[in-house]
Amino acid sequence: MGALQDIWVVRELVLPAIDVLLLSFLIYRGYQILVQTRAVQLVRGALFLGILYAVSIFLNLRTLQWLINLLAPSFVIGIAIIFQPELRKIFTRIGQGTWLHLNSSARPQQIDAVLVAAETLGFRRRGALIVFSRSVGQKNIIETGTALDAEVTSALLLTIFSHDTELHDGAVVIENGRIVSAGCFLPLSEQMDVRRSFGTRHRAALGLAEESDAVVLVVSEESGAMSLAYDANLYYDLTVEDIRDQLSDLLNLGSRPASQATEEVAELAD
């Protein structure tokens, strides 16, 4: 190793580049772990206090510095107590080594499988709620349902949302390209100007879109219309092509010709 450090290119270029890349990877993966839990609020609070302390030093605000120094030990102890479950989950994931694995996102074929199932359910007048998790984790929502960890297929989605199953009233959550849970409960929207014709499914989809960056696909049981909820907005009665295009953009996916999915819908509808 000492011989490599004697080489100028390795010492001045290669090693600093590796150092920066590793540090960037650790920060990125650490942030991904944090957003899966409430601990991300802890980080935001710590950053705010750090900025406030820096301002107090820059402006020589001695009273504020004294107060922050006085509260800092209590703040650390409070973090350990209040966020103990989240901290345990973080260190458990680090110990398991899963934080080193790159997340696998959904593939275009999986989106087509969802759309085939959604259009078939709409044709049969069966409601559905399908959540696509993005950067903000949905652990709290996932834990309210039944864990599955299954591949995304049209047949499985049609089975889940059949009227004679125990899971058809809840939501399915798709995370990292897999169905991780079914029968999940979503928070209802508190918006006062939501259309009165919207049922519980649409209000639940909008409620989750208000609280996170998830994308929620809704199939209306009354009309069979398909809608998307994201960024605190609900887009009602969209076509399959519109939903495919929006999901491709929102989930950073490619797309395939719509004719193949249309043929699958016709086969399942028959």
Instruction: Please state whether the predicted TM-score (pTM) of the whole model is above 0.85.
Output: no
Instruction: Supply the pLDDT for residue 257.
Output: 44
Comparison of pLDDT for 216 and 101, the residue scoring more? 216
Please check the confidence at residue 265 and state whether its pLDDT lies above 50: no
Comparison of pLDDT for 169 and 242, the residue scoring more? 242
Q: Which residue has the tokens 């009233």?
A: 169
- CA 211, 231, 147 angle in degrees (round to 5)? 55
Kindly give, in sequence order, each residue whose CB lies less than 8 Å from that of residue 74, ignoring residues fewer than 6 positions away.
Answer: none
Please check the confidence at residue 262 and state whether its pLDDT lies above 50: no
Q: What is the DSSP letter of 11?
A: I
Neighbours of 144 (CB within 10 A): 15
How far apart, in whole angstroms, are the C-alpha atoms of residue 119 and residue 262? Answer: 9
Instruction: Supply the pLDDT for residue 86.
Output: 60
- pLDDT category, 255, cuts 50, 70, 90? very low
Which architecture, in CATH terms, is 108-269?
3-Layer(aba) Sandwich (3.40)
Instruction: Supply the pLDDT for residue 225.
Output: 92
Q: Residue 146's beta-bridge partner residues?
A: 182
- pLDDT category, 179, cuts 50, 70, 90? very high
Listed residue (153, 104, 128) closest to 226, CA to CA: 128
Neighbours of 227 (CB within 10 A): 20
Beta-carbon-side half-sphere exposure of residue 250 (alpha carbons within 13 Å): 21
Own/partner pairs for 77-83, CB < 8 Å, 24+ apart? 79/42, 83/38, 83/39, 83/42
Instruction: Supply the pLDDT for residue 33.
Output: 62
Amino acid at 41: Q
Largest Cα separation within the chain, whole Å, is 76
Q: Comparing 51-60, 80-89, 121-130, 173-182, which segment has the lowest mean pLDDT?
A: 80-89
* Chain mean pLDDT for the chain: 79
Residue extents of the structural domains in the chain:
2-100, 108-269
Instruction: Supply the pLDDT for residue 268.
Output: 43
* pLDDT tens, position by position, 5-32: 667 676 677 778 888 898 888 777 776 6
* pLDDT tens, position by position, 77-110: 876 776 666 666 566 555 545 445 444 455 677 8
